């Protein structure tokens, strides 16, 4: 519920704090604060074999097309990759895929260059996506740094809303760890193939906990569902077409500001005319 006493709405309500928090994160990123993101992509040997088998026809076609257009290096690299896929050695496939990418970079034909580069990058990436890398010290450290950064920034909002920062600091790491588990599950190549996003697993984990053991009291302060979602929506909204606006230059930025201002005012005016509740 909005708190309008003393003009504190902009600094003490969850809706506005989510906006300021989102903007703060965006400003920090634009200012050069860009922590290395942890990686969650991984594939079992069986999953990798199935994935690369689906790519085999594309590799064969690339080899034939490259041969027909006189791209001998690219054709040879594609043929070597096809042979490695047939042998089924994951490390050899990854090595051959990297060589395909290198050969594609030297190709003269633009179409073959792109196809070869994309194919080599995808297969090489899948070949090197071992689950051990997700649990490596370096990757875990990246996740910890990211989590601590968001904890510090989000705790400011909790303090302004009058929440218990101490309890939030205790509960947040658990919520963050559960989100990490959801990302880990969704990072599997087979799961990714079927297009199941991490949010589905996060939802399932949340429902499982709330409907079995329940959310313990000490954790509730860290489970700020709407706060997290609203902040994410602000960041997501800023990310949509953001690069396009920057590429458009000053006129693009002015146009974007005018569009947002006009639409906001029109919606506000219409809501007032329809006597929509302030909480809406």
Average pLDDT over residues 52-77: 94
Q: Note whether 222 and 168 are within 8 A (CB).
A: yes
Structure confidence by residue, pLDDT tens digits, 199-242: 999 999 999 998 998 889 899 888 988 888 888 888 777 666 66
**Residue 78, CA distances (Å) to 56, 188, 251 in order:** 10, 26, 46
What is the C-alpha to C-alpha distance for residues 151 and 173, in angstroms, rounded to an integer? 8
The residue that leads in pLDDT, 73 or 264, is 73
Q: What is the pLDDT of residue 242?
A: 66
Other CB atoms closer than 10 Å to residue 75's CB: what's the count?
A: 22
What pTM did the predictor assign? 0.75
Q: What is the pLDDT of residue 243?
A: 66
Domain extents in the chain:
5-39+133-239, 45-128
């Amino acid at each position: 519920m909005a708190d309008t006493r003393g003009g504190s709405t902009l600094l003490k309500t969850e809706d506005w704090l989510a906006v300021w928090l989102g903007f703060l994160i965006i400003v920090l990123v634009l200012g050069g604060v860009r922590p290395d993101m942890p990686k969650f992509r991984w594939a079992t040997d069986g999953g990798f074999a199935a994935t690369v088998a689906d790519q085999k026809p594309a590799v064969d076609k690339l080899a034939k097309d490259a041969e027909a257009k006189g791209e001998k290096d690219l054709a040879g690299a594609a043929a070597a990759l096809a042979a490695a896929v047939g042998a089924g050695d994951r490390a050899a496939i990854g090595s051959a895929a990297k060589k395909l990418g290198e050969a594609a970079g030297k190709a003269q034909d633009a179409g073959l260059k792109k196809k070869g580069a994309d194919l080599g990058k995808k297969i090489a990436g899948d070949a090197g996506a071992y689950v051990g890398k997700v649990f490596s010290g370096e990757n875990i450290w990246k996740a910890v740094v990211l989590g601590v950064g968001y904890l510090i920034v989000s705790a400011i909002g909790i303090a302004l809303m009058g929440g218990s920062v101490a309890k939030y600091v205790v509960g947040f790491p658990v919520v963050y760890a559960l989100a990490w588990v959801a990302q880990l599950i969704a990072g599997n190549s087979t799961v990714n193939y079927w297009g199941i996003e991490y949010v589905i697993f996060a939802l399932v984990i949340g429902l499982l906990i709330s409907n079995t053991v329940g959310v313990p009291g000490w954790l509730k302060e860290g489970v700020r569902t709407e706060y997290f979602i609203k902040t994410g929506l602000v960041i997501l909204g800023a990310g949509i077409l953001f690069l396009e606006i920057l590429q458009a230059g000053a006129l693009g930025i002015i146009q974007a500001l005018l569009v947002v201002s006009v639409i906001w005012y029109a919606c506000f005016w219409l809501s007032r005319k329809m006597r929509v509740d302030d909480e809406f």
